[in-house]
Structure formats: C-alpha cells, structure tokens
Amino acid sequence: MDLQSILSKLFANAGAVGIEGVFQFVFSPQLAYWSEVKASSRTEVGRHASPDVTIEVAEQDFLGIMAGMANVEELFASGRLKIGGNMGLATMLPQIIDHARNGGGAVAEKVDMNKRYPTPPRFSEKLTASLPTQVNVERRAREELSVTEFKSRYLPHGIPVVISNALHDWPLFKLSREESLVHFAELQGITRHGDYVKKTFSTERDFRSTSMADFIASLDSPAGKGADGEPPAYMGNNILPAALMQQIKYPAYFDTPLFIPPRIWIGPKGTLTPLHRDDTDNLFAQVWGQKTFTLAAPHHREALGTWSTAPEGGLDGCDFNPDAPDYQRFPKARDVTFLRVTLEAGDLLFLPEGWFHQVESVSTSLSVNFWVNSGRGW
C-alpha cells in the first residue's frame, strides 16, 4: 500500500473521534502529503499552504508506526520524529493511530475533544463505598511489604499505600541531577505552558517541543507565576524514552506484561495537576524532590462535580477544587474526606483505579509513573 493510501486510511474516521485539522507529513524534501480532517477526510500529495500540524519523519519509521513496530511518542522523544505547529492537536496523533489500527470504524457518537461528558459509574465506587472511611494513607517500607501482602491487603480493596525506600535499586535514583543530564542529552519532550490548569485535558493548552536536558538545566531558575497566577512550565506525562529504560526498574507488584509504557514528569516547584481520576491502577515513583497528593475515594464522584472527556468515561476531571472549596456550589463535598500525602524521593505510591487525585510539586521534581492494565475497575 502506498503512503497516500496509508494516510487516507489512517485519517478516514479521525473526525469521528473529535479531531479536526490539517496534518502535513514530510518524509523527505521531495516526498510530502497532507491530510485534512473534518467530518470526513482527504489526503493529497505535496505541501499544504497552511497546515495545523507538520510532522517530519522518515518513511521507514512511519511504516513501522503503522505496522505496530514503532511508537510515535518514542520516535518523538529520540528526535527521529519532529513536530511543528499546533502541539495540542499533535498530541492526539497516538489516539488517531490506535483508532486506525484497531479497525478505524465510525463511532456511535462523535467525540468533541474539548467537551465535558457525564461521568458513568465504576466498580471502584461500590468497592470504596463498602469500606470504612479511610482517614490517612498508610506508609510501608519496601523491605517490610511483600508482593503477597500487597496483593491481598491493598490491591483487591483498592486501598492506596506509600511504599518507602522503593527506588534504591534504580540507577536514575542514585544519580545527581547534574550526573543525569548525560542520559537526557538528545532527548526531547512536550512541555505545558500558560494556564494549563484551567484548560485541564484540553487540546487548547499551550504545548511546546522542548529539549529534556535544557529543561532540566533550567529548573533552578524557572519562570515564576505570571501576574494572572499561571503555574510554571511543566514537562508532564511524556513517555519515558527507551534510552532511559535501563535507568529504572519495573515495580514487582504487578506482572511486567500488564504495565503500560511508563511516563515521566519533570518540573519546578509549583507545577499542578488538578483533581481528576484515571481508569487504571497507578504506581507513582518519586525520583527527585517532593510532591503532595490530595486524594478522595472513588465513590465521591457526584460530590466533586466530576465530568469525563469521552461519553464512555475514562479520564475524568473535577470542577471542585480542594484548595479553594466552593461548598455553595458543591454542598455534598463537605462530606468528602480528603487525604493528603507528601511523597519524598524514593517513595512509590500505589494509587488504585478510580481514586481522585490532585498533584502539586513541593520542590523541583522528577517522577516516573506506571499505569497498569490490571483488569480492575470496569
């Protein structure tokens, strides 16, 4: 199949999952195609006069992506895939590819990526509602918590726990920030700028392509909050590049095939991810610095003004702000018990599926998290 046919198939139903725009692909100076995505799509040879996103990638790497042999985020991190233009729209490319590779059919309801949908209930809500109210997050030393106890005491009941001294065998944990820079050389990530908190999960956030090494080197003197209270730039939720995989270890609490490729989070003091919940279990490793988690049990969905990014749910945001509670608008939130826990360097937090969490960097911070396809929650 030629490149134009592959691109046509790739974007055939991208509009059905809420994506619109012009994607320009440049495979070489002499080889380029563009795809316009609206309610329907079309792909043409050459260069578009005003594309929304421009993607430069070698033909063989692109064919590897479409064959499932290469990861688009990994190619970006290593510099083998370059992105220009609307980075927010570009971040949807993995979803477009997954949709196409999983059949690419039309969906029952067109998804608007920046629309809020009602949040469906989850099994984890019934689970935590049946348990006594949790008033703190237990902290256990790694050497004292066996995998067997973890799987019997915490996992089946969806109970968060902090495991301390959990990263002592990670090479990355043993390196100073200066020593680690050599491992980040030539790698790139996507940073969030502006008021990314108020635009939570929106493609309208200000995303930028940034050198990882340069960003880490800038952390000692980050730009402070703007006059309107905008948080500092944040390199959040990037895939952990393959070049760094030898610097970490998968936690032993789940079978390795269940792990989704790990993600990396880097930022100065003051970065914030507002209250939300994920649709998988999560192991969150704090490598440098400190982060404070504010947690609420899954069954408080209605009290927290929860909304979803898609009709079937999955990634759920909240309108309630635990740092500035509006009890007139959310009176049931008075009954929510919020748990606050600060992760120190070397800590590993087990965050069960469905638990609401707000995350703030207390200091310059680097974290790695592992989402897990554990089969729980749905």
CATH number at residue 239: 2.60.120.650
Instruction: Evaluate whether residue 110 is within a structural domain.
Output: no
In a shared domain, residues 146 and 65: no
Instruction: Evaluate whether residue 194 is within a structural domain.
Output: yes
The per-residue pLDDT for 188 is 94
**Per-residue pLDDT tens digits for 188-234:** 999 988 877 776 666 677 889 999 999 998 887 766 555 566 788 89
pLDDT tops 80 at residue 303: yes
Instruction: Evaluate whether residue 198 is within a structural domain.
Output: yes
What single-letter DSSP state applies at residue 117?
A: B
In a shared domain, residues 22 and 136: no
**Per-residue pLDDT tens digits for 241-296:** 999 999 999 999 999 999 999 999 999 999 999 999 999 999 999 999 999 999 99
Instruction: Evaluate whether residue 107 is within a structural domain.
Output: no
In a shared domain, residues 265 and 325: yes
In a shared domain, residues 158 and 77: no
In a shared domain, residues 73 and 132: no
In a shared domain, residues 354 and 212: yes
Instruction: Evaluate whether residue 353 is within a structural domain.
Output: yes
Instruction: Evaluate whether residue 197 is within a structural domain.
Output: yes
Instruction: Evaluate whether residue 113 is within a structural domain.
Output: no
pLDDT tops 50 at residue 378: no
What single-letter DSSP state applies at residue 242?
A: G
pTM: 0.90
pLDDT tops 80 at residue 328: yes
In a shared domain, residues 183 and 322: yes
Instruction: Evaluate whether residue 281 is within a structural domain.
Output: yes
**Per-residue pLDDT tens digits for 148-166:** 999 999 999 999 999 999 9
Give the list of residues 6+ apart from residue 371 with CB closer than 8 angstroms, or none: 259, 260, 263, 278, 280, 281, 282
Q: Considering only CA atoms, which of 73, 120, 119 is closest in space to residue 96?
A: 73
In a shared domain, residues 250 and 303: yes
Percent above pLDDT 90 for the chain:
72
Highest mean pLDDT among 61-75, 84-98, 323-337: 323-337
The per-residue pLDDT for 278 is 92
What total number of domains does the chain contain? Answer: 2
Q: What CA–CA distance (Å, rounded) separates 295 from 137?
A: 9
In a shared domain, residues 300 and 363: yes
Give the list of residues 6+ apart from residue 302 with CB closer than 8 angstroms, or none: 332
Q: Considering only CA atoms, which of 178, 270, 191, 173 is closest in space to residue 236?
A: 191
Range of 72's domain? 3-101
Instruction: Name the β-bridge partners of 210.
Output: 189
Give the list of residues 6+ apart from residue 101 with CB closer than 8 angstroms, or none: 66, 68
In a shared domain, residues 92 and 147: no
In a shared domain, residues 135 and 262: yes
In a shared domain, residues 185 and 70: no
Rounded mean pLDDT, 135-150: 97
